[in-house]
Chains A and B, each alone.
Chain A
C-alpha cells in the first residue's frame, strides 16, 4: 500500500469520526425533545395554562400560576440583571483595559462557574433570612447572579467586535466618549447584545436549584413580590418526585412548555441577528 493510499484512508476515517461526533451532540437534544413532546403534549389543554393545580386525586387543573410565576421571575431578574450586566460589559470593553478590569473579568468567569445551588443558598442567607419570608424578590436576586456574568461577557465581546475605525470616526467628529459609546458603539452592537440577553434568559428560565431556597414555590396565584412564588422548574421538580401519575403527566406537560419557551427564545435571538443583517444588506 503506497503512502497516498494510506493517507486517503486515514483522511476518510478522520472525516467520518468528526461527522459521527457532531451527530452525537445532536442526538440528545432531538431525543429529549421527542420524548418530552410525546409524554407532555397530550396533557396540554387550555386549562393547563389558565388554572391552578388541583389537589391530588382530582383530575384537571393546570399550572397557570407557575407559568405566570416564571414570567414574573424572569421580568424581575431582567429589571436589575440587564442594566448591571450590559453596563459592566460596557465598562470592560471601553475602560476595562486595566488591573481592575482583569479582576472583574476573572470574577465574572468564576461566578459563572459557581454551582447554582450555592447561589441559591447565598440568596437565602442574604434575603430570605433577614426578611423572614421566601419571596419572588430573592429568587430574582439569585437568578440575576447567574444571568449577569453571561450578559456582561457577551456584551464585552460584542462591543470589542465594533471596529476601532468606527470609534475614531465618532471621536474625530467631536462626539464625547459617553455619546459615542451609547449612540454609535452600543447601537452597532445591539443585535449581538440582545442575543446574549435572550440566551441568558433562556438559561435562567429553566434554573431550579437557586429557586428552591428563595422563590420556594406556591400552590396559588402570586400575591406580590415579597411572597413565595410558583415557578415552572419548581413545579416540575415537585410533581416529578411525587408518586401520582396525574402529577407526572402535568410535569411532562410543564417540561414541554418550558422547553418550548427556551427554544422560542433561541429562535427569536437568531431571528434578530438575521433581520438586522438582512436590513443592512437590502438598503
Chain B
C-alpha cells in the first residue's frame, strides 16, 4: 500500500531550483531512507511533504503530493491538518524552552483545544513510554524541556510528535547532533515505530540508512537518482552515481 505518492515535485528558494521533478512512492508502515550529499535537497524534500517548505520566505512548490490519494497541495486542503497527520522530528532537538516536559508533549494537543486533564495525562504517559523516555522523566515532568540531555531532548521531540497521532513521521537527520548511544536508542525507536507509522528518514549516515530502512532513495543535486529496496540499493545499485556515493568515492 502506498501512503504518500510524489508526482513531478519541484521546489524553489526564490530562484534556486532545489528539487527537480521528483517522483517517488512511499509505502505504508515502512521506513524509507533518503540519502545524498549535503545540499542535494533531502531536507527540502521532506519539508515539502508536511508543507513546511512554504513557510520559508520566497519558497515555492509545484507538482503533486498525494497523501492517501489526495493532493496535499490542492487549495481545499489546510496545511495545519496535513502537519497534524504528517509529523516531523528535526535535525537539532528543539523542545519549547519555556514549557515543561509535560507541556512539551502536550503542546500539540493543548494548543489545538484539548483540555481534559485525564486524557492529556494518559497521552503524555503513553507517548513518553513509546519514546522510551518515561522512566527517565516521570519524576520531573514539570522541569523545563531543555534541562534534558541532547538525546533525551530528541526523544522528547519524538514523544511530542507522537502525541498528535500522526500517520506519517518525517525524521530530518534526527541523530546528527547526538552521540552513538543516543543514536542507537533513536534507531531502535524508529524500528519499533514502523509497526504503526509510515516513516521517512533523511540521513547522512549510510550505515544508519542500511540499518533502519526498508527502502532507500538517493538524491543528488536536487534530483532523485535511484530508489529501491534498501538491500538492492546497497548491494546492487543500478546507477553509477549511487554506487560511487555508497562506496564513499564522493559526498
Interface residues of A (CB under 8 A from B): 97, 163, 165-176, 179-180, 183-184, 187-188, 190, 280, 283
Check B220 for interface membership: any CB of A closer than 8 A: no
- 5 A-B residue pairs with Cβ-Cβ distance under 8 Å, sorted by A, are A169-B157, A174-B81, A174-B82, A176-B80, A179-B111
| Chain A positions within 8 Å of B55 at CB level | 167-168, 171
Cα distance, A170 to B109, chains bound together (Å): 11
Closest residue of A by beta carbon distance from B96: A184
| Chain B positions within 8 Å of A170 at CB level | 96, 107, 111
Cα distance, A130 to B246, chains bound together (Å): 80
Closest residue of A by beta carbon distance from B97: A188
Check B199 for interface membership: any CB of A closer than 8 A: no
Closest residue of A by beta carbon distance from B108: A173
Count chain B CB atoms within 10 A of each CB in A176, A180, A283 and give the residue with the most: A283
| Chain A positions within 8 Å of B142 at CB level | 283
Cα distance, A280 to B81, chains bound together (Å): 32
| Chain A positions within 8 Å of B88 at CB level | 172
* B50 lies within 8 A of A166 (CB): no
Q: How far is the CB of A2 from chain B (nearest CB, A)?
A: 50
Check B191 for interface membership: any CB of A closer than 8 A: no
Q: Give residues of chain B (79-133) contacting chain A, Cβ–Cβ below 8 Å.
A: 80-85, 87-88, 90, 92, 94-100, 107-108, 111-112
Cα distance, A246 to B160, chains bound together (Å): 67
Closest residue of B by beta carbon distance from A187: B98
- Supposing A175-B111, A188-B97 touch, asked if A283 and B161 sit within 8 A by C-beta, the answer is no
Q: Give residues of chain B (200-247) contacting chain A, Cβ–Cβ below 8 Å.
A: none
* A165 lies within 8 A of B94 (CB): yes
| Chain A positions within 8 Å of B147 at CB level | 280, 283
Count chain B CB atoms within 10 A of each CB in A172, A176, A179, A283 and give the residue with the most: A172
* B111 lies within 8 A of A171 (CB): no
Neighbour of A173 across the interface among B83, B92, B100, CB < 8 A: B83
* A174 lies within 8 A of B90 (CB): no
Closest residue of A by beta carbon distance from B160: A173
Neighbour of B50 across the interface among A172, A175, A187, CB < 8 A: A172
* A173 lies within 8 A of B164 (CB): yes
| Chain A positions within 8 Å of B160 at CB level | 169, 173
Check B57 for interface membership: any CB of A closer than 8 A: yes
| Chain B positions within 8 Å of A188 at CB level | 96-98
Neighbour of A174 across the interface among B57, B140, B164, CB < 8 A: B164
* A172 lies within 8 A of B57 (CB): no
| Chain B positions within 8 Å of A280 at CB level | 97-98, 144, 146-147
- Supposing A179-B111, A283-B144, A283-B147 touch, asked if A172 and B83 sit within 8 A by C-beta, the answer is yes
* B83 lies within 8 A of A169 (CB): no
| Chain A positions within 8 Å of B24 at CB level | none
Check B66 for interface membership: any CB of A closer than 8 A: no
* A172 lies within 8 A of B144 (CB): no
Check B143 for interface membership: any CB of A closer than 8 A: yes
Q: How far is the CB of A223 from chain B (nearest CB, A)?
A: 44
Check B26 for interface membership: any CB of A closer than 8 A: no
- Supposing A283-B144, A283-B147 touch, asked if A172 and B111 sit within 8 A by C-beta, the answer is no
Closest residue of A by beta carbon distance from B55: A171
For B36-77 the 0/1 string (1 means CB < 8 A from A) is: 000000000000001010010100000000000000000000
Closest residue of A by beta carbon distance from B143: A283
